[in-house]
Amino acid sequence: MSSASENTLFGMGNPLLDISAVVDKDFLDKYGLKPNDQILAENHHKALFDEIVQRNKVEYHAGGSTQNSVKIAQWMIQNPHKVATFFGCIGVDQFGQILKQKAEEAHVDAHYYEQSQEPTGTCAACITGDNRSLVANLAAANCYKKEKHLDLDGNWELVKKAKVYYIAGFFLTVSPESILKVAKHASENNKIFGLNLSAPFISQFFKEPLMQVLPYVDILFGNETEAATFASVLGFGTEDIAEIAKKAQNLPKENAKRQRIVVFTQGKDDTVATVGDKVTMFPVLDIDQNDIVDTNGAGDAFVGGFLSAQVQEQPLEECIRAGHYAANVIIRRVGCTFPEKPNYQ
């Protein structure tokens, strides 16, 4: 039995139904996609969603970055159920029903804001070899409203119950005011607030809301590409990942009781993390290239594993070890899916 209790972990983000299929280079070229990227769908991508569904062997999985992470955290912890609370917006439709059912099966305490203006969001994962190009059609996920959901007494009580908070940077495009309310609550009550850089476009095009939230961030996550973009947007003047981690750690912070932790993953290369005033490299678990099925969700899984240890107040090294384990499991499978139980000691 873990030391975590119900609703200790709080996540808020874009609940999406992942639609994954193996495609070829022609498909990527047709829609102007890079093999390994994540973007928001524009008008010329609309046909992509219809086309990918027509292709052979489409898999549907409950997704969305933050929801993936809290689901993995719950899986790592196993018992009790409902350690994680999740908020986000869905549509009143079949995909929305699937998301509700999948959240329940994963024992996540999901409280969705449901509206009928927009359909439930989807994310097309276009897989070529080891690469995955993600195209998110936020739709309903984009309709989250602070005053219609987060501010409601019953919902805010769930927020207050948590000790650790995590939101992917993707949500900065939807409801920065919701993120700020949660982040300030965490900071004022000396709780832990984690944020992910999520994708290069967040630092590039949503720098203003990102920098508004950053002073409240206790743990900043990202991968090497996101870290490099963040550094260039902020004019750090370095491409060295350890230097970037250090500079990000030293950006202004509201709650001085907690030193900011910065954790950057680099695929198969060492994970870089600030430990106190030093930057340390943590090697990932070895894996045979042939065992890698799908790297989609590896970053989300890392965060999920990390958070599962964090809510149990484990030291940073343990959090990273749990993150590496979860990511290692996820990349052997299609989508952000996992076996019934973790084999983790």
Q: What is the pLDDT of residues 213-240, one digit of tens each?
A: 999 999 999 999 999 999 999 999 999 9
pLDDT digits (tens, 9 = 90+) for 278-320: 999 999 998 988 888 777 789 999 999 999 999 999 999 999 9
pLDDT at 131: 83
pLDDT digits (tens, 9 = 90+) for 322-337: 999 999 998 888 767 7
pLDDT at 82: 97
Residue with tokens 């609550």: 185
pLDDT at 242: 97
300 tagged catalytic: yes
pLDDT at 55: 77
Mean pLDDT in residue range 73-81: 96
Question: pLDDT confidence of 1, banded at 50, 70, 90?
Answer: low
Residue 43 neighbours by CB distance under 10 Å: 6
Residue with tokens 């309310």: 181
3-state secondary structure at position 79: coil
Structure tokens at 109: 């305490």
pLDDT at 190: 98
* C-beta separation of 64 from 88 below 8 A: yes
Structure tokens at 324: 């590496």
* C-beta separation of 121 from 15 below 8 A: yes
Mean pLDDT in residue range 178-186: 98
pLDDT digits (tens, 9 = 90+) for 48-74: 988 998 876 888 888 899 999 999 999
Of the listed 18, 218, 294, 300, which one is catalytic?
Answer: 300
* C-beta separation of 239 from 195 below 8 A: no
pLDDT above 80 for 253: yes
Helix (H) or strand (E) holding 164: strand 164-168
pLDDT at 259: 97
